[in-house]
Amino acid sequence: MPVFYGTDIASSLMLGTAQYPSPKVLADAFRRSGAGVATVSLRRESAAGGAGRAFGDLIRGLGVPVLPNTAGCHSVRDAVTTAHMAREVFGTDWIKLEVIGHPDTLQPDPFGLVEAARILAADGFKVFPYTTEDGVLAGRLLDAGCRVLMPWGAPIGTGRGLANPYALRTLRAQFPDVPMVIDAGLGLPSHAAQAMELGFDAVLLNTAVAKAGDPAAMAEAFALAVRAGRLAHGADPMEPRDMAAPSTPVLGLAVLE
């Protein structure tokens, strides 16, 4: 199981809390998923009136670590301010750092991300940066004080899976001892299994579960896929070949003349 900033996590599946059709469906999805971490937006928690408080109580009642995020922030200032507010609201130094650089692709702003990560790490935050699969950027984030990396699989909400498996495999090999979570873009349980087979420590997703016809069933399917991928990676799978190789030995077979 993954370890983030010295904390053991019960599952390699991390689940978002937005877009569910009802609080009951959200709770059922978490129960069936066995998710080890719940991510939550401060904007949702801070909703006006009793709805915001009720949502906060629901999240705290899930019984898993909460990872607040700076979703929707497009500047360093907004991200840092939101992180400080989240620490006060949720009582945790964990923060999923998002600094969005493009409104259509929701790609992270690499320059703002590093700057915000450095500011927050210096202020005692345990930063989980939402980043791309770029190895140079990953190194800069580690230098800034991050001890976890969260590269995207594909743009947020697209459900396309791992858009660049080669780059993700390279990133994993470049920093073998850094906990890494595939965050965003996963649409099917098979995508999560593939990420775990590449050696990533966890996956984080939201839309694929929340927008499914049966969110609870989809959450359980992702949980099974994550476990299968993790077991497969640990089993040292065979390397792919260009040519066929018989699975049944030829030696000892009868020869008919």
Helix (H, G, I), strand (E, B) or coil at 247: coil
96 carries an active-site annotation: yes
H-assigned helices in the chain: 23-33, 42-45, 50-60, 76-90, 110-122, 135-143, 165-174, 189-197, 207-210, 215-234
164 is in an annotated binding site: no
User: What dihedral do alpha carbons 108, 110, 111, 114 form, nearest 10°?
Assistant: 100
- Rounded Cα distance between 165 and 139, Å, is 19
Contact assessment for residue 221 and residue 213, using Cβ atoms and an 8 Å cutoff: no
Which contacts qualify for 49-55: CB closer than 8 Å, 24 or more apart? 54/23, 55/23
Helix (H, G, I), strand (E, B) or coil at 225: helix
Question: Which one of the listed residues 24, 96, 126, 211 is annotated catalytic?
Answer: 96
131 is in an annotated binding site: no
User: What dihedral do alpha carbons 244, 245, 246, 247 form, nearest 10°?
Assistant: -110
Contact assessment for residue 203 and residue 37, using Cβ atoms and an 8 Å cutoff: no
69 is in an annotated binding site: no
What residues form the annotated binding site for 1-deoxy-D-xylulose 5-phosphate? 157, 184-185, 206-207
Residues annotated as catalytic (active site), given as ranges:
96
What residues form the annotated binding site? 157, 184-185, 206-207
